[in-house]
Amino acid sequence: MAETAASPTRLSERELAAWRGLLKAHSQLVATLDDELEREHGIPLGSYEVLLHLADAPEGSLRMGELADRLLLSRSGLTRMIDRLVSREVVERHSCPSDRRGTYARLTPAGRKLLDQARPTHLRGVREHFLRHLDDADLTRLGEIWERVTTPSAADETSCG
C-alpha cells in the first residue's frame, strides 16, 4: 500500500499510525491501571497520583495550584478530587501561614498507608501492561522521545500564539 503524503490538512499513514498508537496505548494503560487500583484499593489512578505527588513533597504538602500544575489538572478539577480525598481522610487541607488565601493539600497518615498499600499494585500494572513489551533500547529511545516531545523549544517559548 502506498504511503499517503502528509499535508497541512492530513497526516501521512505513518504519522497517523504513530499518533493513533499513542492515543490507544495511553487510553488502554490508564483504563487498566485505573481498574486495578479501584478494584484492589478503592482508589482511582488520578487520586493515586495525587497521593504520590504529596508523598514526594516536603512534609507531604503542596499548594493546590502547584499540585494542579504537576498533575496537569484545572484548579476546579483538582478541587473536586481533593474534596473526595478529604472525605476519605487521606488528604487534608490547610491554609498557608503567610498568605491566608493560599491553600495546601497535605497527605495524612491514612493517605500514606493507602499509598503504601496501592503502590505495589500500580508498579505491577505498569510492568505487566507496559514495560514487559519493551527492551532496554526501547526504554532509552522512549525516554529520549518523551523528553523531546515534552520539553518546550526556544521557538515555543518566544511564540505569541
For residue range 14-68, what is the model confidence (pLDDT) as tens digits? 999 999 999 999 999 999 999 999 999 999 999 999 999 999 999 999 999 999 9
Please give the Cα distance from 51 to 85 (Å, whole number): 9
Q: What is the pLDDT of residue 161?
A: 47
User: In this prediction, what percent of the chain has a pLDDT beyond 70?
Assistant: 91
**pLDDT grade for 152, boundaries at 50, 70 and 90:** confident
Return the ∠ at Cα 77 (arms to 73 and 83), rounded to 5°.
125
The structural domains of the chain, with segments of one domain joined by +, span 25-147
| Residue 3: exposure state from Cβ atoms within 10 A (0-12, 13-18, ≥19) | exposed
The fold of the 25-147 domain, in CATH, is Arc Repressor Mutant, subunit A (1.10.10)
Q: What is the pTM of this model?
A: 0.84
First-last CA distance in the chain: 38
**pLDDT grade for 95, boundaries at 50, 70 and 90:** confident
Judge contact between 33 and 24, C-beta under 8 A.
no
- Which strands, in side-by-side order, build the sheet including 61-63? 61-63, 103-107, 91-95
